[in-house]
Structure 1
């Protein structure tokens, strides 16, 4: 299946500190590419894979599930760990959720987590009917492109495959159940005006996590904040986060 132009994965070989970036549901690496390039310029090794079924057609994505997306990230993390002495995981939306899952599973092998508008709570009531709807309704209107900045677009699907979406509640439940396993530092960027992920996800993290959680509010961006007005704050904030929590120096510092 041909990959949409601009949806290709991004990789950069830098220093001994590595970062795995996880894009969101129905999105593509395009939404995180500027973030990855910013970290690469600081001397970091960066891995930004394209999740299975993404960046092609929603019909292809309909044949995948969260386990497929997570498995690709788990493989990318293993590769990064083989080349770097320390690794951080970061993600947008559902990518933030899967970044948290990687931290739960791999423990100290993940040095820290940065999540932008993470989705970890089922705040869409229709998803409760998805196991039945998927047999009658192949897709619903998409959620990509929630950006405040004029003239900026996200490369994502205009339709959301119901069969793929029906697998999400299981992932959310696992992440919620195992949150206490995360002892690493976690930085969350939360858009005050988000038309995709409701405040319940950030509120859940705030209620369940301890002093290792820091939440920073974004005042001038919508859901895809990595392409929006607050992108620079995310890029620089995540780089400062790495500098604060990496025990080895970056090869190249800004």
Structure 2
């Protein structure tokens, strides 16, 4: 997981392609993954003229043991720094992510309010129906890790390049953050585009209705991905994600639709 595709990505805006305005998108990978899983998505946005920041979250891209020394606060700090860099250099900023990356994007939107122009998530999680998570507070001290559910892809021959173990201390930290985010979802006011795979073996279908009912967004769009599993940004519906994301960014940042720039956080 140390090759170029797993490295962070930082690309400037090309306002000549976006009507003279500088628009940025912070894109985050998910739990135990790396930028590799969302790099094609980020590059597709950059090709359309949008500035992109794709950070490598702390504890990722190395070993699951190292990840077990990091927490939700560390990962959030990385995406917040990426967002703030974009905010300094651009007229508007959106936040996006896959799986836990989408959860981090929602957390940013809750904290920053109207300073975020839009939120794009793919198979984001804020809850689970799995009962085995109830033992995480105890299991994390005994086991350290469990086998991961990685490479949940319908498309043949594609490798997510995620860890082959789930670090339990890190997983527990992530799930503790879910409840706080659920309580804060009404603070999300930006338009939301939520992609959900029809079949997902990692994130169940409990999160989407919670997010839909919880946010205060004036616009909430749901798009089902019929031919992809969890890592949809590398799967058969990836082009749909790329095209619909770009259209969403263009629309919600268009001054003709009332967006004139970032509000104060």
TM range (shorter): over 0.9
Answer whether contact 1:52 1:68 (CA < 8 A) is retained: yes
Distance 2:181 2:169 in 1: 20
- What TM-score do the two structures reach when normalised by structure 1? 0.94
Distance 1:248 1:44 in 2: 16
What are the superposed Cα offsets for residues 17-73 of structure 1, whole Å, 9 maximum, x if unpaired? 000001100010000000011011101100000000001110110100111000111
* Match in the other structure for 1:7: 6
> Does residue 242 in structure 1 map to residue 249 in structure 2?
yes
After superposing on structure 2, the runs of 4+ consecutive aligned residues of structure 1 that deviate more than 4 Å are none
Distance 1:14 1:212 in 2: 25
* Match in the other structure for 2:74: 68
* Match in the other structure for 2:132: 126
Q: CA RMSD in A?
A: 1.4
2:236 aligned residue (224, 229, 236): 229
Distance 2:68 2:6 in 1: 18
How many residues get paired? Answer: 247
- What TM-score do the two structures reach when normalised by structure 2? 0.90
Deviation (angstroms), 1:87: 0.1
SS at match of 2:142: coil
Distance 2:128 2:155 in 1: 27
Runs (5+) with no aligned partner, structure 2: 15-21, 257-265
Answer whether contact 2:187 2:215 (CA < 8 A) is retained: no
114-123 vs 38-47, which moves further: 114-123
* Match in the other structure for 1:252: none
Deviation (angstroms), 1:175: 1.2
Answer whether contact 2:146 2:167 (CA < 8 A) is retained: yes
Distance 2:190 2:32 in 1: 28
* Match in the other structure for 2:94: 88
SS at match of 2:59: coil
Deviation (angstroms), 1:90: 0.4
* Match in the other structure for 2:195: 189
Deviation (angstroms), 1:171: 1.1
